Amino acid sequence: MKSWRPLKKITATTTLIFLLLLLIFFVAALVSGGWIDAFIFSGAYSKKSITTTTNTSTPKRLEFPLQCTEGINVPQGCPRTYPTTHDLANPIRPSNLTCPSYFRWIHEDLRPWKDTGITRDMIEQARRTAHFRLLIVDDKAYIEKYRQSIETRDMFTLWGILQLLRVYPSRLPDLELMFDCDDRPVVRSKDFQGPNLGPPPLFRYCADEGSLDIVFPDWSFWGWAEINIKPWRSLLQSIKEGNKRTKWEDRVPYAYWKGNPNVAPTRKDLLKCNVSDKNDWNTRLYIQNWEQESKQGYKDSNLENQCKHRYKIYIEGWAWSVSEKYIMACDSMTLYVRSRYHDFFIRGMEPLQHFWPIR
């Protein structure tokens, strides 16, 4: 990763196309690399595509390692042997797969700039809350950091983008984007109404119906070091193994939730449904104390060991929660408490097929 330098001038329309391509590349990399399991989200594929891929072997995932030098302020680079072209005759993922349904939301998230394109002024407006600016020029990444993010969210997000350069060498276009690593969206649609009020194109991990923030895969796909959560690619395999230990009919016949209730009033309300001397709501709810867990070596917080109940509850916290994907991967019925915020893939999910909606 290189230090900051200005990006060459590009047109507003071209910028919009670049952002669209980046998101498509990014989600495609998650699917093809195993970071998102296509079969967990099988409802997003057509029946024909599932049938045609059953008897085909998954191609070997190509990777091009980066050779990093030591030192905080030393520019990082690729070896001279790093490929400068991509072999289109050997695609990384099978060509007979159809795009998941949540791909259409990429176009929807970029709709506010469809007619006007993205101007330099719009980009600079995003600096008000952005944690960093990312440039990719000639297949090299440049970063300008504005402020410290929560924990290491920015570092892991940037690491995920570097994986695109590894998996798709010389296929990423030159681009520029602003990224906000906080939880809640800040670009309110009501503040940008009319033909001449272009909103800033700001990327983050979630949005809601009243915001125009552009949704991007969250940092925990590449790991959450502070609470000992492994990258999704390896963690998903561990959760799959955990699922095999107990058949659904042999699991504890209660609804399970474990988390921090202090981040949202709705979570505190949920705890009122816990088992007590007076009532049994068929739930088993637990408070997660991360400070205590860190002292005990996280022995009671392994996600692969939390697939023992027939039902699992998802409820958002301060905003959307990264626990969403871990809960849905458990092969238990997901009781999905109606949420305000959405991440990049939940909009492609179907109620009563992928989860059971509850108030």
The rounded mean pLDDT for the chain is 82
Report the pLDDT value the prediction gives residue 156, as an integer from 0 to 100: 95
pLDDT at 267 over 80: yes
Beta bridge partners of 77: 67
pLDDT at 99 over 70: yes
Report the pLDDT value the prediction gives residue 116, as an integer from 0 to 100: 87
Cα–Cα distances (Å) from 313 to 220, 242, 265, in that order, read 20, 18, 16
Give the tens place of pLDDT for each residue, 273-301: 998 878 889 999 999 988 888 888 888 88
- DSSP 8-state symbol, 127: G
Q: How far apart are CA 220 and CA 151, in angstroms?
A: 12
Burial class from Cβ neighbours inside 10 Å (0-12, 13-18, 19+) for residue 87 reads: exposed
Report the pLDDT value the prediction gives residue 28, as an integer from 0 to 100: 62
- DSSP 8-state symbol, 257: E
Query: Count of residues for the chain?
Result: 359
Q: How far apart are CA 5 and CA 346, in angstroms?
A: 36
Report the pLDDT value the prediction gives residue 235, as an integer from 0 to 100: 95
pLDDT at 62 over 70: no
Report the pLDDT value the prediction gives residue 45, as an integer from 0 to 100: 33
Sequence ranges of the domains in the chain: 12-222, 230-358
pLDDT at 171 over 70: yes
Report the pLDDT value the prediction gives residue 164, as an integer from 0 to 100: 87
Give the tens place of pLDDT for each residue, 207-259: 999 999 999 999 999 999 999 999 999 999 999 999 999 999 999 999 999 99
Task: Give the DSSP per-residue string, 270-283.
Answer: HHTTS--SS---SE
Q: Are 142 and 3 in contact (CB under 8 A)?
A: yes
